[in-house]
């Protein structure tokens, strides 16, 4: 039975993804950004409904719309990015693996949306991307980065956190919003190609204030952020 369900989920996901790409190519250069991104969120929320994946949001009141942040979620599934894009209630720009930008059409979508590629095989290139992200934040943008860098294989324990995201956060001089996905591992994860219907809790934690970010060392900030996300996972 699970193979039938997975086949249905993949068929729906592929069909919706193709429709989205065609739609994106048509309207991205026509509509103003605010109009376009509103419809992207609606589209992605509908996408998850068609897959019978129910997403509940908690803690959105922790996001102060007058401030900008670095969002840091745990990394569980291939659905992390579309779920974040569909349900984070403010505009943001992401830092993603450079390999994603080489995927036909999808890479163009990422670039058009304003995401930044990071080449994890090159420390110099990674550092350059982080400096670019700092400038984006200082211009008033929210940035999202996955501090694990890759999907965890050992839930509920997260993978090791990278150092560069916390260097970027400190240089940006803004607060950090920790985010946790509960239930997403059972729907899809790195160890399986199966997609299962289910419920996901997307939890926004209380922000780590910019003053705390400035006060702590990068290592201390890394440990604090990890603990904040883990506490959300365990809640």
Q: What pLDDT is stored for residue 106 in this prediction?
A: 66
Mean pLDDT of 40-56: 92
Q: Write out pLDDT tens, residues 190-200.
A: 998 889 999 99
Q: Write out pLDDT tens, residues 51-110.
A: 999 999 999 999 999 999 999 999 999 999 889 989 999 999 888 778 877 876 667 767
Q: Which of the four pLDDT bands, split at 50, 70 and 90, describes residue 123?
A: confident
212: left (phi over 0), alpha (psi -120 to 50) or beta: alpha
**String of b and e for 205-228 (b: at least 16 CB within 10 Å)?**
bebbebeebeebebeebbebbbeb
Selected from 2.160.10.10, 3.40.50.12660, 3.40.1130.10, 1.10.8.640, the CATH number assigned to the domain covering 55-234 reads 3.40.1130.10
pLDDT higher than threshold 80 for residue 33 = no
Mean pLDDT of 203-216: 97
Residue boundaries of the structural domains of the chain = 55-234
Q: Which of the four pLDDT bands, split at 50, 70 and 90, describes residue 15?
A: confident
Q: What pLDDT is stored for residue 1 in this prediction?
A: 67
Least confident piece of the model among 96-100, 101-105, 208-212, 215-219: 101-105
How far, CA to CA in Å, does 150 sit from each of 67, 154, 185?
Answer: 28, 12, 14
Contacts 24+ apart (CB under 8 A), 153-159: 153/189, 153/190, 153/191, 155/76, 155/185, 155/189, 156/230, 156/233, 156/234, 158/74, 158/75, 158/226, 158/229, 158/230, 158/233, 159/75
pTM equals 0.88
Pairing of strands 198-204, 53-58: parallel
Cα(2)–Cα(24) distance, integer angstroms: 32
């Amino acid at each position: 039975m699970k193979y039938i369900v997975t086949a249905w989920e993949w068929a729906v996901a592929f069909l919706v993804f193709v429709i989205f790409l065609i739609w994106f190519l048509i309207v991205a250069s026509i509509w103003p950004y605010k109009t376009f991104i509103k419809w992207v969120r609606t589209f992605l929320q509908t996408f998850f409904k068609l897959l019978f994946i129910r997403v509940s949001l908690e803690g959105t009141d922790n996001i102060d719309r007058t401030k900008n942040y670095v969002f840091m979620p745990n990394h569980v599934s291939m659905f992390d990015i579309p779920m974040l894009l569909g349900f984070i209630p403010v505009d943001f720009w992401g830092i993603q693996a450079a390999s994603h930008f080489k995927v036909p059409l999808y890479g163009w979508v990422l670039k058009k949306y304003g995401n930044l590629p990071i080449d994890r095989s090159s420390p110099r290139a990674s550092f350059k991307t982080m400096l670019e992200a700092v400038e984006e934040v200082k211009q008033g943008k929210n940035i999202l980065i996955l501090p694990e860098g890759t999907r965890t294989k050992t839930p509920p324990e997260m993978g090791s956190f990278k150092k560069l995201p916390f260097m970027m956060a400190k240089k940006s001089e803004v607060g950090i919003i920790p985010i946790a996905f509960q239930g997403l591992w059972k729907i899809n994860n790195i160890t399986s190609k199966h997609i299962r219907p289910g419920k996901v809790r997307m939890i926004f934690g209380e922000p780590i204030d910019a003053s705390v970010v400035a006060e702590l060392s990068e290592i201390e900030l890394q440990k604090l952020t990890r603990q904040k996300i883990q506490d959300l996972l365990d809640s």
